Amino acid sequence: MARLILKAGRGKSVLQRHPWVFSGAVKRVEGSPTEGQAVDIISAEGEWLARGTWSSRSQIVARLFTWDPQENIDGELFLRRLKRAFAGRADLAADPATNAYRLVFAESDGLPGLIVDRYADYLSVQFLTQGIATRSELISSLLAEHTGARGIYERSDVDVRHKEGLERAEGLLWGEEPPDPLEIRENGMRFRFSLRGGQKTGYYLDQRDNRRRVAAYCSGRDVLGVFTYTGGFEVYAAAAGAASVVAVDSSAPALEQLQQNMALNNLSTPLECIAGDAFQVLRRLREEGRSFDVVILDPPKFAQSQAQVERACRGYKDINMQALHLLRPGGILATCSCSGLVSADLFQKVLFGAALDAGREAQILEQLRQGPDHPVLLTFPESAYLKGLICRVW
């Protein structure tokens, strides 16, 4: 087996079970590993530390799977890790009100680079690294055998694969093609969306619990939802008794699906859909003198790399400042960031700056985070990517 010999003093993170080895930590490579092949991680002193998979084109040259020298990266390991991940979602699997949740969350489930989402009887998967992509057939066969799914659909159409030297990939891997649109249940609510053409793996499962928490503030209130996609937060708000809902998204088809999801849940709440750039729409609403009791901001990832963090923070500050201007005194701002490189502390500081510039006073009522089917591994803090705040604004 090929070996990565680390530079002196660079083995600490491996000993602490962080699952990434960066190229700058490697002194030399012994052997000629092929992409995705298993490699051993060796300290500068010659001590065996861990075993992972090789990726020559990425800055993360090895993704670590095991710290047990007797454990191989083979089908048995994948089956053990998958079964453990399934067991961790047993409560969700048994909940008749919900049939959509994340089944495997990459490093947090000991399977770096693998995302598996369950949508009713279908699985949506992402193979994001060389180590996972080269084992896609093995993984697909294990999922088919042990999940009872009717079909497995690949949604590896993401830019991060280019960093691994992989092309974007999408299509049916096994079983039946999923219906389009596909219908799921979430906390008793019904949603339809396109698994094949939707964002991420089709739907935003990580906000499931947050949608319910934000909805608790919407009864009898005028609600503005921004970056709505197919309307998760907005449908919950209407079901909670919102007086009216205004939905803003750049995608007209997503807004059409939002309207269908409202009808699917027999909701007759007055709904206004606005297709356009969120920043521009919020400014226009302010110029028109519009105001709301609740504003919900659920933007896409603004920071894809460390170099983009400063620009992302300017974007978060701007969008939140505009939202603050639109809130009536005593109103509620529910605001989120899914940029993993923007920490919860930094996000709160950005919101502080937005409130200061808007001349508004805000009180934090609740802190939001990703759902328990997106667990945060203690040795991998990078897995805590979603953060949010529910604030009362004066």
Domains of the chain: 2-66 (2.30.130.10), 75-182 (3.30.750.80), 204-393 (3.40.50.150)
Parallel, antiparallel, or unpaired: how do β-strands 327-337 and 244-249 relate? Answer: unpaired
Q: How many helices (H) and strands (E) does the chain have?
A: 11, 20
Parallel, antiparallel, or unpaired: how do β-strands 271-275 and 244-249 relate? Answer: parallel
Which is nearest to 45 in space by CA: 14, 5, 85, 86? Answer: 5
Class of residue 203 by CB neighbours under 10 A (exposed 0-12, middle 13-18, buried 19+): buried
Which is nearest to 332 in space by CA: 223, 181, 191, 207? Answer: 223
- The one-digit pLDDT tens for each residue of the chain (394 residues) are 899 999 999 999 999 999 999 999 999 999 999 999 999 999 999 999 999 999 999 999 999 999 999 999 999 999 999 999 999 999 999 999 999 999 999 999 999 999 999 999 999 999 999 999 999 999 999 999 999 999 999 999 988 899 999 999 999 999 999 999 999 999 999 999 988 877 777 789 999 999 999 999 999 999 999 999 988 999 999 999 999 999 999 999 999 999 999 999 999 999 999 999 999 999 999 999 999 999 999 998 898 888 899 999 999 999 999 999 999 999 999 999 999 999 999 999 999 999 999 999 999 999 999 999 999 999 999 999 999 999 999 9
What pTM, to 2 d.p., does this model score?
A: 0.95
Which SS3 state, helix, strand or coil, does residue 148 take?
coil
Q: Is 265 left (phi over 0), alpha (psi -120 to 50) or beta?
A: alpha
pLDDT value, residue 304: 83
Q: Are 312 and 302 in contact (CB under 8 A)?
A: yes
Strand-by-strand arrangement of the 26-30 sheet: 20-22, 60-66, 48-54, 38-42, 2-6, 26-30
Q: Are 93 and 73 in contact (CB under 8 A)?
A: no
pLDDT value, residue 303: 86
Catalytic status, residue 338: yes
pLDDT value, residue 16: 98
> How crowded is residue 165: how many other Cβ atoms within 10 Å of its Cβ?
13
Q: Pick the catalytic residue: 218, 273, 336, 338?
A: 338
Q: Are 100 and 184 in contact (CB under 8 A)?
A: yes
Which is nearest to 38 in space by CA: 48, 56, 20, 51? Answer: 51
Q: Are 124 and 103 in contact (CB under 8 A)?
A: no
pLDDT value, residue 201: 79
